[in-house]
Amino acid sequence: MTDSLHIICFSATGTTLKTAKAVAEGCGISNVRVHNLIGDAEAEAHIPKNGMALFAAPVYAGRIPPIMAERLKGFVGSDTPAMVVCVYGNRDYDDALLELKSIAERQGFLPVSAAAFIAQHSIFPQLAAGRPDAGDMEMMREFGRRSMALAADAQRVCATPFSVPGNYPYKEAKAIPLTPKTHGCDKCGACAKGCPVHAIDPENPSRTDAEKCISCAHCIHICPKHARRWGGLKYTLASRKFVKLFSERKEPFITYRG
């Protein structure tokens, strides 16, 4: 019997965690522990066979964040049933779902289900604005319910092959050539302290190391003065093109094992 659920996610702006929590609602487990790998704390755990893992990752240029892939090495299962979920901003999830599933398996987990859900884009918020919506949320809860039913018989279910969309070798992990701008900063240091890749100068928060920055928008999300934002000519031009290409509504991809 499954007695606990571990949400293992990388949620920079809250949407990936919101998705994971909706799935968790459907699971109906009261003992839920959240490991948000956006920070350095609690980046390891052993999850036994009578537990359940929910891996939830945002999609950055068709892959999961490299820093998340690295931190997932601290999570180990013992043939532990798992759900794998990617969250993307209405463009595509490319190889991210396959990458996340493969990592989960390598770490000793047995994926019983996989899904790619849509949420408002973290860089171009005009895309998938308002998502996940009520329909998305209900699909997430149903995904959790069905996954729990499969987890109850994970050993038998996982004896069958299970594939998800994606290609290997994975597409090249490319940096997104956009970094947040700063205006009206009081140098409180929250952004520098919270940046998962330490790309912001704590002495001068208006300076962002473009080579380190992964464009996750966590600094924008946590700034108490709303002094961090997207902007500039390069951003404006990229936004127009991106929104024009990927504005058509996409629906979640969901698959179950067995």
Instruction: State pLDDT tens for residues 7-59.
Output: 999 999 999 999 999 999 999 999 999 999 998 666 788 999 999 999 999 99
pLDDT computed for residue 1 by the predictor: 67
Q: Which residues pair with 36 in a beta bridge?
A: 9
38: domain CATH number? Answer: 3.40.50.360
Same domain, 135 and 222: no
Is 223 strand, coil or helix? coil
Residue 69: burial class (beta carbons within 10 Å; 0-12, 13-18, 19+): middle
CA torsion angle 103 104 105 106 (round to 10): 50
243 in a structural domain: no
Q: Is 225 within a domain?
A: yes
SS3 19: helix
Q: Are 164 and 101 in contact (CB under 8 A)?
A: yes
65, pLDDT greater than 90: yes
- Residue 21 in any domain: the answer is yes
pLDDT digits (tens, 9 = 90+) for 226-241: 999 999 999 999 999 9
What's the pTM value of the predicted model, to 2 decimals?
0.96
- Residue 148 sits in which domain range? 4-169+250-256
Tell which residue, 256, 253, 196, has the closest CA to residue 222.
Answer: 196
Give the pLDDT of residue 155.
Answer: 74
Note whether 98 and 198 are same-domain residues. no
For residue 208 the two structure tokens come to 């962002």
- pLDDT tens, residue by residue, 122-152: 999 999 999 999 999 999 999 999 999 999 8
